[in-house]
Structure 1
Amino acid sequence: MARLLALDYGTKRTGIAVTDELQIIASGLTTVNTSELLTFLKQYTSKESVEKIIVGLPKQMDNTASESEVYIQKFLRKLDSEIPNISIERFDERFTSKMAFQSMIDSGLSKKKRQNKALVDEISATLILQSYMSSL
């Protein structure tokens, strides 16, 4: 089997999470500057077998698209043209940032570490991936 990879896309940084090859466990991988995301993904997918990329779908409470969806759509077009052999799926990401922050509190991380937005993005990507896997 191949890995699943999830993205919590942001205009500045993107959190990335992956599964193991058996697609049992979701783990945070890293956070990269969004300007370097495509390069990172091309390098990662050339070394690792990835079956699918799950990209967070940000929605408002009334189920309309978030403002960031415009940027995500632009990125998705580039991603599909640069890495056409890996399917892309969207998954609702509402509340993942709040849940990530709460999980940091629950795990006892210091206030200074909880202010690390890159860590929040990575945990958010992991939550997107875990939720996606649970929905299957």
Structure 2
Amino acid sequence: MTISKPMLAESMCDIDIVKLCPKLVNSAGELAKFEKECLEKGFEGVIVRSPDSPYKCGRSTLKQQWMLKVKQFVDDEAEVVGFEELLHNNNESSVDERGYLKRSSTKYVKYKYFPIGTKDAPRHPVKTTVFRL
């Protein structure tokens, strides 16, 4: 079966495609400025690539440093108001003076997340610390 350009265009009419052109960046300052421009346009971040790196299908490693993602995360804090119990608890437990297991209460959690592209909940949240006030 051969696919013609009109057939391809019709099948992709609901997909937003944006043509991106590579930009040469020579310093950290230029990268910061370019990243700011991209964020203002509604992009999530920037992918930086070494100009002399070979093509690789998939992700490159930090050791290779052929292609890296630049995305800014922010920190925030939240009070834990509920949780869903798992089938097995691997957390360390401690005992009080009477020999009973100590119960945790009023815990707060510090987490980092990506602020762009979300309205009702943090995007890509990652817990960093748990503490009590």
Q: Same fold (TM over 0.5)?
A: no
TM range (shorter): under 0.3
Greater RCO, CA 8 A, separation 6+: 1
Identify the structure with the greater helix proportion: 1
Larger radius of gyration: 2
